[in-house]
């Protein structure tokens, strides 16, 4: 007896439905995409109980001719492609002709639709894939789809659904994604009778972000707009200081389709490297547009994954687009002070404890080393002219007659401003907690973290110097004895260590010898640093990008930089401040902490009850 049976149509449909319709959000996604493909200018989505009991999607698109209405629910019936060649140049969101039959197979569907040329619309009811009603309907041009009791006939699937709230959140996220990718369409989302958000369809992405994600996310978004070859990238991204605790706010679209893609994600995050704190992730909405033949969207039934014929081109395009958006950004993190009353009580009740910041103490303990006179270190060298205070009447104003002999200024130690703008007006106010430099910059009060600033400057300098050209020869070479594993790791990666500015050689017997080291590093730091590098290399053998080198630069910079708690003269502090101000690349320390923040006049006035 034959054992292989052809499954009846309704069973085949149920199985196929499993791939397309996973949960209410997938239904909403498919129905909204159909509305977009139909040329809608406004779409309303309404759900109840997370979309499990009720979903309605109404659009003002082209509608469906009465003679096509039933066909639309037949498997693989689509108006969007005709030939196999069409698959290579898909410009619509749908094309597989699977959504409507899949949805209809696992729920109770009512479609009401009308085209512009018809006098009367059509209403079709399908329950579990079986047509139960087909009749006239008085309605406007466009289509309304109502989906009730999802998975009512597939209890196994029903069990996999989460609570109404979670399913509702997924639906919200699907609606948001569609709204982001179509700012030109006005979208309304109603959840359990309450309007959650609307977009006005004015084509402005910033406005959509504001409606969907609120002020916190939308504030200060940076505009991305660039093209490399035939790949263009645009959208909005968060400035580094507004990064998030997860990747939840990363939205990527390829040719208008929301996708998950590791290449895009990696390129996006790489652009923020060294500007974002560990454990923080940038957010943003990025649209990647490329000729449709260079991307395969037919990889996954729900079309969430795509494949690129040239991954590298995509990586480069995204990386450069975001990187240039970030480099044009000069905005500073704004300090928001707490409610003024609490500040007063705290300050006056226990001044000592409040003022002794733990970071200072930690840092003082951390550094026992004797700092080289700062005038010999790099950042002072950028001050070439005498500093003259700009306001004589100001008691806090300090005049700094700085005269550094020209020959002391080595060109390689001068960090040149990336986009030197008009002359910045900087006035040093002073230093607090031996950590923070207060300056007035073009009339604004700014605070600089001196360690973070110096660390970043040194890090940039190390990165820009080729090989060991920025090294200093040691009077007495330093030998460092390492553990077996560590010794192997260092000798295996000796090129990387040399590249980072150490002239290091295998000395045999588990020992390496260092003859020169990066310019600003104190010689007593060499041995501990080499041990640290060795340990790091042991744990991270594989180096795909320049990760290792960057890690070493971070650590060299950290050890070479001045620390919180160090004594620095006003001359040094001002010189450092000038370097920070004049170089847009000195905004975050290599671990992503901000280097300079602005304390706005408004914030202060708020504290003093002036506003
Ligand atoms: P696909 O979108 O992949 O073509 P669907 O099953 O989602 O497949 O839809 C089948 C067809 O029904 C579409 O090709 C389109 O012609 C028509 N259709 C579906 N929804 C709408 C709508 N909201 N407005 C106009 N036509 C629609
Ligand atoms: Mg579709």
Per-residue confidence at 387, pLDDT binned at 50, 70, 90?
very low
Q: Please say if the pLDDT value at position 360 is more than 50.
A: no
**What is the sign of the dihedral through the CA atoms of 312, 317, 318 and 320?**
positive
CA-closest candidate to residue 558, choices 418, 449, 469, 480: 449
With the most atoms of ligand 1 within 8 angstroms of its CB, the residue from 72, 93, 103, 113 to mutate is 72
Q: How far is the CA of 98 from the centre of ligand 2 (A)?
A: 7
Ligand lying nearest the CA atom of residue 95: 1
CB-based burial of residue 409 (10 Å sphere; 0-12 exposed, 13-18 middle, 19+ buried)? middle
Q: Give the tokens for residue 333.
A: 């993190």
What mean pLDDT is predicted for residues 394-417? 32
Q: Are 225 and 234 in contact (CB under 8 A)?
A: yes
Which range has the worst mean pLDDT, 81-90, 206-215, 566-575?
81-90
- Ligand 1 atom having least distance to the Cα of 95: 3
Quick one: DSSP state of residue 66? Answer: H
Chain segment 289-313, per-residue pLDDT in tens: 999 888 887 677 666 788 898 989 9
For 243, left (φ over 0), alpha (ψ -120 to 50), or beta? beta
Q: How far is the CA of 305 from the centre of ligand 2 (A)?
A: 16
Task: Write the residue with the smallest CA distance to atom 12 of ligand 1.
Answer: 72
Q: How far is the CA of 72 from the centre of ligand 1 (A)?
A: 6
- Ligand 1 atom having least distance to the Cα of 100: 6
What mean pLDDT is predicted for residues 7-22? 74
Ligand lying nearest the CA atom of residue 36: 1
Q: Give the tokens for residue 90.
A: 């898909």
What mean pLDDT is predicted for residues 437-457? 91
Q: How far is the CA of 126 from the centre of ligand 2 (A)?
A: 17
Which residues does 358 contact at the CB level (< 8 Å), separation at least 6?
A: none
- CB atoms < 10 A from the CB of 14, how many? 19
Task: Write the residue with the smallest CA distance to atom 23 of ligand 1.
Answer: 35
Ligand 1 lining (C-beta closer than 6 Å): 30, 34-35, 37-38, 59, 61-64, 72, 77-80, 94-100, 143
Ligand lying nearest the CA atom of residue 70: 1
CB-based burial of residue 403 (10 Å sphere; 0-12 exposed, 13-18 middle, 19+ buried)? exposed
Ligand lying nearest the CA atom of residue 97: 1
pLDDT given for residue 131 in this prediction: 94
Chain segment 504-560, per-residue pLDDT in tens: 999 888 899 999 988 888 888 898 899 888 888 888 776 555 677 888 888 888 888
- Ligand 1 atom having least distance to the Cα of 59: 23
Assign 194 to helix, strand or coil. strand
**Per-residue DSSP letters for 420-437?**
--SPP-EEEEEEETTTEE
Q: Are 497 and 541 in contact (CB under 8 A)?
A: no
pLDDT given for residue 388 in this prediction: 36
Chain segment 302-357, per-residue pLDDT in tens: 667 888 989 899 999 999 999 999 887 766 666 666 654 433 333 333 333 333 33
Q: How far is the CA of 144 from the centre of ligand 2 (A)?
A: 14
- CB atoms < 10 A from the CB of 123, how many? 18
Q: Please say if the pLDDT value at position 375 is more than 70.
A: no
More confident residue, 58 or 563: 58
With the most atoms of ligand 1 within 8 angstroms of its CB, the residue from 30, 34, 86, 95 to mutate is 34
- Ligand 1 atom having least distance to the Cα of 61: 24
pLDDT given for residue 305 in this prediction: 82
| CA–CA distances in Å: residue 480 to residues 11, 528, 531 | 71, 9, 8
Q: Are 221 and 237 in contact (CB under 8 A)?
A: yes
Ligand lying nearest the CA atom of residue 141: 1
Chain segment 237-296, per-residue pLDDT in tens: 998 888 888 888 899 999 988 898 999 999 999 998 878 877 788 999 999 999 988 888
Task: Write the residue with the smallest CA distance to atom 21 of ligand 1.
Answer: 34
Q: How far is the CA of 21 from the centre of ligand 1 (A)?
A: 15
Q: How far is the CA of 261 from the centre of ligand 1 (A)?
A: 26
Per-residue confidence at 585, pLDDT binned at 50, 70, 90?
confident
Per-residue confidence at 359, pLDDT binned at 50, 70, 90?
very low
Task: Write the residue with the smallest CA distance to atom 20 of ligand 1.
Answer: 34
Cα–Cα dist 497/322, whole Å: 30
Ligand lying nearest the CA atom of residue 82: 1
With the most atoms of ligand 1 within 8 angstroms of its CB, the residue from 41, 86, 94, 129 to mutate is 94
Q: How far is the CA of 589 from the centre of ligand 1 (A)?
A: 52
More confident residue, 433 or 89: 433
CA-closest candidate to residue 14, choices 125, 152, 119: 152
- Ligand 1 atom having least distance to the Cα of 92: 2
Q: How far is the CA of 172 from the centre of ligand 2 (A)?
A: 19
Percent of the chain with pLDDT over 90: 39
Q: How far is the CA of 189 from the centre of ligand 2 (A)?
A: 20
More confident residue, 89 or 598: 598
Q: How far is the CA of 409 from the centre of ligand 2 (A)?
A: 67
More confident residue, 594 or 91: 594
With the most atoms of ligand 1 within 8 angstroms of its CB, the residue from 61, 100, 122 to mutate is 100
Chain segment 415-427, per-residue pLDDT in tens: 333 444 457 889 9
Pairing verdict, β 186-191 and 471-481: unpaired
Q: Tell me, letter by letter, the H, E, C secondary structure of 302-340.
A: CCCECEECCHHHHHHHHHHHHHHHHHHCCCCEECCCCCH
**What is the sign of the dihedral through the CA atoms of 565, 569, 570 and 573?**
negative
- Ligand 1 atom having least distance to the Cα of 143: 23
Q: Please say if the pLDDT value at position 66 is more than 50.
A: yes
pLDDT given for residue 327 in this prediction: 83
Task: Write the residue with the smallest CA distance to atom 8 of ligand 1.
Answer: 97
Cα–Cα dist 578/596, whole Å: 12
Pairing verdict, β 333-334 and 596-599: parallel
Ligand lying nearest the CA atom of residue 64: 1
Q: How far is the CA of 30 from the centre of ligand 2 (A)?
A: 5
């Amino acid at each position: 007896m034959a054992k292989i049976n052809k499954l009846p149509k309704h069973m085949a449909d149920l199985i196929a439905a499993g791939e397309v319709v996973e949960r209410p959000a997938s239904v909403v996604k498919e129905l909204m995409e159909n509305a977009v493909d139909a040329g809608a200018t406004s779409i309303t989505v309404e759900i109840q109980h997370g979309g499990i009991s009720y979903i309605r999607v109404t659009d003002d698109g082209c509608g469906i001719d009465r003679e096509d209405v039933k066909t639309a629910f037949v498997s693989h019936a689509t108006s969007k492609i005709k030939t196999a060649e069409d698959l290579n140049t898909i410009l619509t969101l749908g094309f597989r002709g699977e959504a409507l039959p899949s949805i209809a197979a696992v729920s109770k569907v009512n479609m009401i639709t009308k085209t512009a040329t018809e006098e009367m619309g059509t209403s079709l009811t399908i329950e579990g894939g079986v047509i139960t009603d087909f009749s006239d309907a008085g309605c406007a041009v466009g289509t309304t789809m109502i989906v009730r009791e999802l998975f009512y006939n597939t209890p196994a699937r029903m069990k996999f659904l989460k609570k109404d709230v979670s399913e509702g959140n997924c639906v919200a996220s699907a609606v948001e994604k569609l709204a982001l990718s179509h700012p030109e369409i006005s979208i309304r989302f109603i959840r359990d009778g309450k309007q959650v958000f609307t977009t006005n369809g004015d084509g402005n992405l910033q406005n959509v972000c504001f409606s969907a994600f609120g002020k916190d996310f939308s504030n200060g978004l940076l505009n991305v707009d660039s093209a490399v070859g035939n790949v263009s990238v645009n959208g909005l991204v968060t400035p580094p200081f507004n990064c998030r605790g997860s990747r939840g706010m990363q939205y990527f679209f390829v040719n208008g389709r929301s996708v998950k893609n590791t290449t895009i994600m990696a390129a996006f995050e790489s652009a923020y490297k060294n500007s974002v704190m560990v454990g923080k992730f940038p957010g943003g909405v990025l649209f990647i547009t490329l000729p449709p033949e260079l991307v395969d969207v037919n990889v996954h039934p729900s079309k969430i994954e795509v494949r690129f014929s040239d991954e590298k081109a995509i990586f480069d395009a995204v990386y450069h687009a975001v990187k240039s958006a970030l480099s044009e950004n000069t905005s500073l993190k704004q300090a928001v002070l707490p409610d003024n009353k609490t500040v007063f009580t705290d300050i006056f009740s226990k001044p000592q404890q409040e003022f002794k910041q733990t970071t200072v103490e930690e840092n003082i303990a951390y550094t026992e080393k004797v700092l080289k006179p700062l005038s010999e270190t790099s950042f002072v060298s950028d001050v070439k002219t005498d500093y003259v205070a700009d306001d004589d009447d100001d008691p806090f104003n300090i005049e700094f007659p700085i005269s550094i002999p020209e020959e002391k200024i080595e060109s390689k130690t001068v960090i040149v401003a990336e986009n030197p703008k008009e002359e910045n007006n900087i006035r040093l106010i002073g230093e607090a907690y031996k950590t923070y430099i207060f300056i007035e910059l073009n009339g604004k009060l700014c605070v600089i973290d001196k360690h973070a600033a110096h660390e970043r400057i040194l890090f940039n300098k190390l990165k820009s110097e080729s090989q060991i050209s920025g090294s200093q020869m040691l009077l007495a070479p330093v030998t460092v004895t390492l553990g077996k594993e560590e010794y192997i790791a260092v000798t295996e990666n000796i090129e990387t260590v040399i590249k980072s500015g150490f002239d290091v050689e295998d000395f045999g017997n588990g020992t390496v010898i260092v003859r020169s080291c990066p310019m600003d590093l104190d010689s007593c730091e060499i041995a501990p640093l080499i041990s640290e590098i060795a340990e790091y290399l042991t744990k991270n053998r594989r180096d795909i990008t320049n990760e290792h080198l960057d890690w070493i630069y971070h650590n060299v910079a950290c050890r070479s930089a001045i620390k919180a708690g160090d004594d620095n003269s006003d001359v040094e502090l001002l010189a450092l401040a000038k370097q920070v101000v004049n170089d847009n690349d000195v905004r975050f320390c290599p671990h992503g902490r901000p280097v300079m923040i602005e304390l706005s006049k408004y914030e202060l006035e708020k504290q003093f009850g002036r506003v």
